[in-house]
């Protein structure tokens, strides 16, 4: 056999099987393009000089895109091997025929090697070309989401080209190697029969059914019962793992149980449409189950990512308003019982305002807040301990304490509290008991404090900077605040106790850029003018910088969610497409036989429509149920970013679900046409 025959035969094989290979190559182009774009954004030296004042911009881009590269390539590995397995199954008869007609296994291996080379060259080269063309557009969209300036110029990342080519060439090479091994260990008769081997009726597997119910129920219970952002972080991946296991068991075992129950209903089963749909699904459910579960999980991933990141981005202004309630914030940590001269907040505020006025900027409003933050652990009886060795403790909390006067300054609402009363956000219980025990010996270092909770706050009036379970207390006045400070100081000791923190919130009559300049340059003036007695640390921050930082985070997450969502959606569409083709070829002969024994053409179309609808929309319905149970956990995760707007999160989730259903419906109409053409041909 002449060597020149192999390239022509490989090209002819790809052409004849273009129904299978063209979508595969297009998806490969999309994956390569997406990976190159993210790699180029990570390696673009111009990102560091995006816009003056955005010091964290380069960090956000690198962090988000590096995460995206890892997830995208890991998913590409799973996806490419999944589609390659489908292609090999569909081509077994063709390859077996080559063997029967005289081509040895080495000849078939050479043919497969050339096919892999063609697919790799077209897919990788096409993906790099598309990636370079779209890189600038994607960069503009990313910077718009990050609220950054628009960069100029066109950039080609040679490092990105090299990384992308090497990784995807290795991936395609690995699939070719797997195919060659399959060819070498297969017999010709197995290849000829491989595409037409039917499925036996699956048995009802009670163990898998019970496992599916337990794991799915367990994941749902964890998601619904999560009460804080910290719990959500700790339990999210466990819940996801349980739901994934439960989803596979649901489609593999529970679905068979349901189908057999439907078959036992004679009034339902012995009708043309249900008879064909139920019997067809039952006999092929074993192979359908994995595909349906994959589609369901991918749909869930896409909708969770998009709804969560969209909520975060749309709520950025609300987050900034919570964390930075004024144009300029001054934060001072001090020890009221220190040996140095006591802290004088009025003097420091006057000096700070003098500096600002000296720069030609007017202060339009001001307010100050004293706070105390310290850590405690809650035991099974709801008592809060400073003994944080975790012995007998259920949950660790960061406690933020402010006075009723400060609460009124923040919210505009007056609270009338007695010295032994408090308003609380966080830990439950009508009475909060603090035991001030030494964290090493457990010895009581200060008399226990009991506060009657007279009101539960719906939202935290204080945005804690610590990612932990939060307990925010509003107490009567400064005397109660001071007593709590002295108690925790006695328990933790001078070196480990928390200090008091004083905040000054100033609104200025100037631009964001000028406010940022003042917050950056305050140490460059005559720092000796900042008197006010003794204090440990002082920092200035502006809402302008906070807005840039939060938009950088939220925009980066949104962009990454959209980018990865597109990749997962593309994979979902392709899996659905191949599933429709596979089922079309499997059903073609069955429907031909049924028409020969008297089934009309309209009855065939009705039966086809019923079966396709059942198979197609089951995953998206289950995914919607997953989203509904996952909503509470996503909402709690967003509170770690100071977003407490349940209505916004619910609307984003509902909107994402509706849009995805529309897209899914369009995919159904397109792929169903392919199925009908194959079956009715």
Residue 306 falls inside a structural domain = no
The answer, yes or no, to whether residue 290 has pLDDT greater than 90, is no
Residue 346 falls inside a structural domain = yes
- What is the distance between the alpha carbons of residues 134 and 30, in angstroms, rounded to a whole number? 11
- What is the distance between the alpha carbons of residues 618 and 299, in angstroms, rounded to a whole number? 12
Which residues in 386-514 belong to E strands, given as ranges?
Answer: 393-403, 421-425, 431-437, 444-456, 469-475, 500-508
Average pLDDT over residues 283-287: 63
Residues 57, 193: one domain? yes
Q: For residue 426, which of 647, 639, 650 has the smallest C-alpha distance?
A: 639
Residue 241 falls inside a structural domain = no
Query: Looking at 197, 229, 258, which one is the last position of a domain?
Result: 197
DSSP state of 643: -
Residue 96 falls inside a structural domain = yes
Pairing of strands 469-475, 421-425: antiparallel
- The per-type count for the chain, helices as H runs and strands as E runs, is 19, 10
- What is the distance between the alpha carbons of residues 627 and 329, in angstroms, rounded to a whole number? 39
Give the pLDDT of residue 627.
94
The answer, yes or no, to whether residue 530 has pLDDT greater than 70, is no
Question: Residues 569, 305: contact at Cβ < 8 Å?
Answer: no
What Rg do the C-alpha atoms of the chain give, in angstroms? 32
pTM of the model as a whole: 0.76
Residues 44, 185: one domain? yes
Average pLDDT over residues 199-228: 82
More confident residue, 28 or 267: 28
Pick from 170-184, 363-377, 498-512, 525-539: least confident: 525-539
What residue spans of 101-228 are helical by DSSP H? 105-145, 158-185, 188-194, 206-225
Give the pLDDT of residue 654.
94
The answer, yes or no, to whether residue 32 has pLDDT greater than 50, is yes
The answer, yes or no, to whether residue 533 has pLDDT greater than 80, is no
- What is the distance between the alpha carbons of residues 134 and 143, in angstroms, rounded to a whole number? 14
pLDDT tens, 145-167? 666 655 556 678 888 889 899 99
Query: Looking at 524, 542, 560, which one is the last position of a domain?
Result: 542
The answer, yes or no, to whether residue 381 has pLDDT greater than 70, is yes
Q: For residue 436, which of 388, 469, 365 has the smallest C-alpha distance?
A: 388
The answer, yes or no, to whether residue 294 has pLDDT greater than 70, is yes
The answer, yes or no, to whether residue 281 has pLDDT greater than 80, is no
- What is the distance between the alpha carbons of residues 144 and 555, in angstroms, rounded to a whole number? 8
Q: Report the domain count for the chain.
A: 2
Give the pLDDT of residue 4.
64
Average pLDDT over residues 410-426: 88
More confident residue, 645 or 441: 645
Give the pLDDT of residue 287.
62
What distance, in Å, lies between the first and last C-alpha atoms of the chain? Answer: 36
More confident residue, 36 or 671: 36
Q: What are phi and psi of 469, to 5 degrees?
A: -65, 130
Domain extent, residue 171, equals 1-197
Map tokens 């996503």 to a residue: 634
More confident residue, 392 or 582: 582
- What is the distance between the alpha carbons of residues 575 and 79, in angstroms, rounded to a whole number? 9
The answer, yes or no, to whether residue 518 has pLDDT greater than 60, is yes
- What is the distance between the alpha carbons of residues 309 and 312, in angstroms, rounded to a whole number? 5
pLDDT tens, 42-72? 776 655 554 444 445 556 666 667 777 777 7
pLDDT tens, 233-265? 888 889 989 999 988 888 877 777 777 777 777
Question: Residues 267, 226: contact at Cβ < 8 Å?
Answer: no
- What is the distance between the alpha carbons of residues 602 and 626, in angstroms, rounded to a whole number? 36
The answer, yes or no, to whether residue 320 has pLDDT greater than 90, is no
Average pLDDT over residues 430-452: 84
Residue 488 falls inside a structural domain = yes
Q: Please name every residue paired with 333 in a beta bridge, in sequence order, or none if there are none.
A: 501, 537
Pick from 95-109, 348-362, 563-577: least confident: 95-109
Residue 665 falls inside a structural domain = no
Pairing of strands 393-403, 363-379: antiparallel
Element (H, E) at 468: none
Kindly indicate the confidence band of residue 168, based on its pLDDT and cuts at 50, 70 and 90: very high
- What is the distance between the alpha carbons of residues 479 and 681, in angstroms, rounded to a whole number? 86
Pairing of strands 421-425, 444-456: parallel
Question: Residues 409, 367: contact at Cβ < 8 Å?
Answer: yes
Map tokens 């459910």 to a residue: 285
Mean pLDDT over each residue of the chain, to the nearest integer: 79
- Other beta carbons within 10 Å of 525: 12
Give the pLDDT of residue 528.
47
Average pLDDT over residues 471-491: 90
Element (H, E) at 673: helix 646-680
Residues 190, 329: one domain? no
- What is the distance between the alpha carbons of residues 318 and 312, in angstroms, rounded to a whole number? 10
Residue 266 falls inside a structural domain = no
Pairing of strands 328-334, 393-403: unpaired
Query: Looking at 144, 174, 197, which one is the last position of a domain?
Result: 197
The answer, yes or no, to whether residue 132 has pLDDT greater than 90, is no
Apex 608 CA angle, 603 and 611, nearest 5 = 125
Question: Residues 215, 249: contact at Cβ < 8 Å?
Answer: yes
Residue 213 falls inside a structural domain = no
């Amino acid at each position: 056999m002449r060597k020149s025959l192999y390239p022509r035969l490989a090209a002819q094989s790809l052409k004849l099987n273009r129904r299978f290979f063209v979508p595969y190559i297009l998806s490969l182009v999309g994956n390569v393009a997406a990976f190159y774009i993210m790699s180029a954004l990570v390696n673009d030296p111009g990102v560091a000089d995006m816009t003056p004042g955005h010091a964290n911009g380069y960090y956000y881009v690198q962090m988000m895109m590096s995460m995206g590269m890892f997830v995208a390539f890991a998913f590409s590995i799973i996806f490419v091997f999944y589609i390659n397995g489908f292609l090999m199954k569909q081509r077994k008869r063709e390859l077996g025929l080559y063997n029967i007609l005289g081509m040895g296994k080495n000849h078939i291996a050479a043919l497969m090697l050339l096919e892999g080379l063609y697919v790799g060259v077209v897919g990788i080269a096409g993906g790099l070309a598309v990636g370079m063309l779209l890189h600038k557009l994607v960069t503009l969209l990313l910077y718009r989401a990050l609220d950054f300036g628009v960069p100029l110029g066109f950039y080609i990342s040679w490092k990105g080209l090299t990384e992308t080519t090497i990784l995807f060439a290795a991936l395609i090479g690995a699939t070719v190697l797997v195919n060659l091994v399959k060819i070498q260990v297969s017999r010709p008769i197995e290849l000829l029969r491989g595409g037409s081997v039917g499925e036996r009726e699956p048995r009802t597997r009670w163990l898998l059914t019970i496992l599916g119910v337990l794991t799915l129920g367990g994941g749902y219970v964890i998601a619904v019962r999560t009460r804080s952002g910290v719990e959500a972080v700790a339990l999210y991946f466990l819940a996801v793992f349980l739901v994934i296991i439960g989803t596979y068991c649901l489609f593999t075992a529970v679905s068979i149980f349901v189908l057999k129950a439907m078959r036992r209903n004679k009034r339902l089963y012995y009708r043309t449409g249900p008879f064909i749909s139920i019997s067809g699904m039952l006999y092929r459910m074993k192979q359908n189950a994995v595909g349906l579960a994959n589609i369901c999980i991918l749909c869930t991933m896409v909708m969770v990512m998009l709804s969560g990141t969209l909520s975060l981005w749309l709520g950025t202004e609300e987050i900034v308003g919570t964390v930075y309630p004024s144009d300029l914030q001054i934060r001072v940590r001090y020890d009221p019982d220190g040996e140095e001269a006591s802290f004088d907040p009025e003097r420091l505020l006057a000096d700070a305002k003098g500096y600002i006025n000296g720069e030609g900027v007017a202060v339009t409003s001001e307010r100050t807040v004293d706070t105390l933050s310290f850590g405690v652990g809650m035991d099974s009886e709801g008592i809060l301990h400073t003994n944080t060795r975790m012995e007998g403790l259920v949950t660790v909390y960061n406690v933020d304490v402010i006075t009723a006067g400060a609460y009124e300054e923040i919210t505009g609402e007056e609270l009338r509290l007695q010295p032994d009363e408090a308003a609380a956000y966080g830990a439950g219980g009508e009475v909060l008991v603090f035991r001030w025990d030494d964290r090493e010996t457990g010895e009581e270092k200060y008399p226990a404090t009991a506060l009657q909770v007279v009101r539960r706050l719906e939202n935290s009036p204080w945005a804690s900077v610590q990612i932990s379970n939060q307990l925010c207390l509003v107490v009567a006045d400064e005397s109660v605040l001071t007593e709590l400070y002295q108690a925790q100081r006695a328990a933790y000791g001078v070196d480990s106790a928390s200090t008091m923190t004083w905040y000054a919130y100033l609104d200025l009559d100037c631009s964001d850029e000028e406010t940022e300049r003042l917050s950056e340059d305050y140490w460059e003036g005559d720092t000796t003018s900042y008197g006010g007695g003794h204090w440990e640390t002082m920092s200035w921050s502006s809402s302008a910088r906070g807005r840039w930082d939060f938009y950088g985070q939220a925009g980066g997450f949104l962009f990454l969610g959209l980018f990865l969502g597109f990749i997962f959606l593309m994979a979902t569409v392709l899996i659905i497409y191949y599933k429709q083709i596979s089922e079309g070829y499997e059903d073609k002969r069955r429907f031909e036989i049924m028409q020969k024994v008297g089934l009309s053409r309209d009855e065939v179309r009705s039966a086809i429509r019923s079966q396709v609808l059942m198979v197609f929309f089951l995953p998206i319905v289950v995914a919607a149920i997953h989203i509904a149970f996952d909503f509470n956990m996503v909402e709690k995760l967003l509170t770690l970013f100071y977003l407490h707007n349940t209505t916004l999160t619910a609307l984003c989730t509902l909107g994402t679900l509706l849009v995805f259903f529309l897209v899914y419906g369009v995919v159904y109409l397109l792929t169903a046409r392919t199925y009908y053409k194959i079956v009715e041909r």
